[in-house]
Every structure is written in structure tokens, then in C-alpha cells.
């Protein structure tokens, strides 16, 4: 990887929380931008996600076997032929299309969840969103905010959290993160969402930016089909432990990128004065 660019949709923020999603690592260095928590977590072992990406690549290869010159054996130490290069690029493109479609679907679920919390229109024909709305109508009593940029200047990272809500029967707010995922189904456990170990780490970072850390929970939504959403609420002990992992993965990211932004105290002070006005 070129040390001045980022692959895989890296996101950055100003030190006052303004998004700079299109910025490169070179621009981040120039302007002292903060990496997002999702960007930093690219250094985290992805478990199910890596397995899924590999499977989609193999599936694309299986469903589209090479023919003609592209089918010739790949010889160790020799360059690929033009036909082989074209073929492999096509296979990678087909695999990436599946990944991109899943990401787009995740964005639809996030947008739908936010619209529900704000009382705006959402696609009521979408079976996955109908399940999410059923849970929110039953348990979400009040919405404090949605889609808020959060900054931790001690760690020098930022991020954008989905929503802070009040749930029925609990005065302590709950910070939620919508996750569009595939679900497995078994005869004993029923529907179970694919969880990643870094899910709680992301939420722990968001909670760290608040004076009184709220409860935290992932709301897993089946990307396709109707089944109840799965709620994973974490204990305070799990949140504290996960935040230690935030520190670790941030240190790894800084080391790999050879970049650690310095806090711009003048920028922060100017922002605080503007907010107080």
C-alpha cells in the first residue's frame, strides 16, 4: 500500500468533528485530520468478514471458470498473460460487486433506522426495515439525537454514531449502532446474526467521548428477509474492556501509517468560543 493513500474507504474528520470523507492520508497529514474509528478498525482482524470476502471470491471463480487463453496454467515466476490478467480482474470485480451491494444495503438500513427515529418517511415495503421499526416502536421511547460526530482528542480519533435513545423502562440512555448483517438459522437457536468482535469496540469508542457513558448496543438487522432483529446490549464491564482494545488498535494504526495527528489547541479553542456564542 502506498503510504500516502488509503484503500478501502478511509474516513477522516477535522479536530472539531467535521467530516472529511474524501481525504487521503496525504491530506490528513497536511491538515492534521483525525482518522475515524471505522478506518482505524481496518487494522482489526475481521473474522467472519474476511471469510465471507474469500468465499465470494471463490464463488465468483467457480461460477465463471476461465476459457481460452485465460485457462492456461499460471506458472510460478512468470508474468500473467494478457488474457489471464483480464480474467482475474473480472473475477475480482464480480466479487467486489457483491461486497459493494452489501455495503449499500447496510447504508439503506442505517438511513431507514434514522428516518424512523426522526419520524420521517421510510420504505414500508422493505421487510428488514419493517422488523427494525417493530422493535423501535416497542422499545424506543425517545430520541435524543441521530448521526452525531464524536471526537476523542486523547486518542486523536473521531467517528459518527448512529443514535442515542431512551428505551422503555430505563432512564439511562442507550447508544445504538445499526448493523445490516446476514443471519444463520439453526433448529435449536433459531436466527442468529453474524457478529464481529470489533462491533463492541466501535461502540466503546463512541461512549468514551461522553462524560456519562451510556448503555451501548448493536441492533443487528437481517439484510434480506423477515426475521426479528437481534439486540446485543453490552455490560459496562464489556464496554470498559473493549475500550482498552480501542487504545491497542489505534496504536497499531498509528504505527502502520506512520502518522499520529497532533492536537490543534487553537482550532479547538476557536471552535469552543463559536459554540458558546
Tens-place pLDDT, residues 132-141: 999 999 999 9
Name the average pLDDT for the chain.
Answer: 89
What does the domain layout of the chain look like in residue ranges?
Answer: 47-256
CA 239 to mean position of chain CA atoms = 17
Residues 6 or more apart whose CB falls under 8 angstroms from that of 82 comprise: 69
Number of C-beta neighbours around residue 29 at 10 A: 16
Q: Are 257 and 43 in contact (CB under 8 A)?
A: no
Q: Give CA–CA dist 148/128, Å, rounded.
A: 24
Q: Are 218 and 204 in contact (CB under 8 A)?
A: no
**Whole-prediction pTM:** 0.83
Indicate whether 98 pLDDT > 50: yes
Longest dimension (CA), the chain: 70
Tens-place pLDDT, residues 143-167: 999 999 999 999 999 999 999 999 9
Q: DSSP 3-state assignment of 15?
A: coil
- What integer is the mean pLDDT of 65-84? 90
Indicate whether 246 pLDDT > 80: yes
- What integer is the mean pLDDT of 58-68? 91
Cell of 110: 442505517
Tens-place pLDDT, residues 179-234: 999 888 877 778 888 888 899 999 999 999 999 999 999 999 998 877 899 999 99
Q: Are 206 and 243 in contact (CB under 8 A)?
A: no
> Dihedral (C-alpha) 105, 106, 110, 112: value to the nearest 10 degrees?
20
**What was the pLDDT predicted at 49?**
60
Amino acid at each position: 500500500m502506498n503510504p500516502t493513500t488509503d484503500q478501502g474507504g478511509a474516513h477522516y474528520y477535522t479536530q472539531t468533528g467535521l467530516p472529511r470523507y474524501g481525504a487521503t492520508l496525504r491530506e490528513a497529514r497536511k491538515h492534521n485530520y483525525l482518522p475515524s474509528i471505522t478506518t482505524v478498525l481496518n487494522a482489526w482482524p475481521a473474522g467472519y468478514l474476511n471469510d465471507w470476502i474469500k468465499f465470494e471470491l471463490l464463488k465468483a471463480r467457480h461460477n465463471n471458470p476461465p476459457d481460452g487463453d485465460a485457462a492456461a496454467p499460471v506458472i510460478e515466476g512468470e508474468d500473467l498473460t494478457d488474457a489471464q490478467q483480464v480474467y482475474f480482474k473480472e473475477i475480482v470485480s464480480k466479487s467486489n460487486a457483491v461486497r459493494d451491494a452489501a455495503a449499500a444495503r447496510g447504508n439503506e438500513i442505517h438511513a431507514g433506522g434514522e428516518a424512523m427515529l426522526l419520524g420521517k418517511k421510510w420504505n414500508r415495503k422493505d421487510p428488514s426495515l419493517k422488523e427494525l421499526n417493530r422493535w423501535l416502536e416497542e422499545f424506543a421511547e425517545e430520541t435524543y439525537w441521530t448521526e452525531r460526530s464524536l471526537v476523542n482528542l486523547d486518542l486523536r480519533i473521531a467517528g459518527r454514531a448512529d443514535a442515542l435513545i431512551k428505551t422503555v423502562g430505563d432512564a439511562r440512555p442507550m447508544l445504538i449502532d445499526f448493523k445490516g448483517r446476514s443471519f444463520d438459522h439453526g433448529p435449536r437457536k433459531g436466527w442468529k446474526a453474524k457478529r464481529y468482535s470489533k462491533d463492541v469496540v466501535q461502540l466503546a469508542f463512541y461512549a468514551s467521548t461522553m462524560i456519562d457513558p451510556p448503555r451501548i448496543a448493536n441492533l443487528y438487522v437481517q439484510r434480506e428477509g423477515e426475521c426479528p432483529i437481534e439486540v446485543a446490549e453490552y455490560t459496562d464491564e464489556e464496554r470498559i474492556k473493549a475500550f482498552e482494545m480501542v487504545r491497542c488498535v489505534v496504536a497499531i494504526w498509528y504505527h502502520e501509517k506512520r502518522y499520529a495527528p497532533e492536537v490543534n489547541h487553537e482550532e479547538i479553542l476557536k471552535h469552543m468560543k463559536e459554540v458558546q456564542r
